[in-house]
Copies of this chain bind each other. A is one copy, B any other.
């Protein structure tokens, strides 16, 4: 997605050789029009997969996952990072470390919203080490739903996450792949 590459070059900043800051367009401020274009692109790439539900993990994947669900005309489910006192008893939970937050959290999806008959498209904003993604994939597997694939806005392909998920035989579609941040320079694949 060339427009997204241009926006990243213009608005992102490299914190260090591992961390790309996308606050201006992805995970703090969001451009709704650009996000809708991303959603339509994911909908196009998974058009043949009879998707019944889009899923993401709160929170920064929610806008693009919402845009994708709107384009596909299916419900969106966002997995909760479990701290709430009113969580469903009837929930699927996985414990995952967070690369950017430096903490461990439990992610949770109510069984009510993830059914064995669902074809699920998992959308997220960034994939680095893929810990949260692997956690949600385990939850989807345990629910009995079929995982149609992952749609990622920015894949940091120099980190292991997307690679290890593809090795499981899961389709991962990334709108942009960042090959390196060495020397403070963003290099796309």
Q: A32-B69, A59-B58, A69-B30 are in contact. Are A102 and B78 (CB under 8 A)?
A: no
Bound CA–CA A85/B101 (angstroms):
6
B84 engages A101 (CB within 8 Å): yes
Q: How many residues from A make CB contacts under 8 Å with B?
A: 42
A95 contacts B by Cβ under 8 Å? no
SS class, residues of chain A in contact with chain B: mixed
Determine whether the beta carbon of B32 is less than 8 Å from that of A75.
yes
Q: Is A32's CB under 8 angstroms from B76's CB? A: yes
Would you call B102 and A36 a contact (CB within 8 A)? no
Distance from A100 Cβ to chain B, minimum over Cβ atoms (Å): 5
| A80 partner, pick from B28, B69, B109, beta carbons under 8 A | B28
B86:A29 contact, CB within 8 angstroms: no
Q: Contacts A31-B75, A66-B32, A85-B100 given; indicate if A112 touches B24 (C-beta within 8 A).
A: yes
A35 to B67, CA, bound (A): 11
A63 at the interface (CB under 8 A from B): yes
List residues of chain B with CB within 8 A of the CB of A33: 70, 73
Q: Name which of A15-23, A156-164, A166-174 contacts chain B.
A: A15-23
Asked if A66 and B110 sit within 8 Å, CB to CB, the answer is no
Task: List 10 A-B pairs, Cβ < 8 Å.
Answer: A28-B113, A30-B66, A30-B75, A32-B76, A36-B70, A58-B58, A62-B66, A83-B102, A83-B103, A85-B100
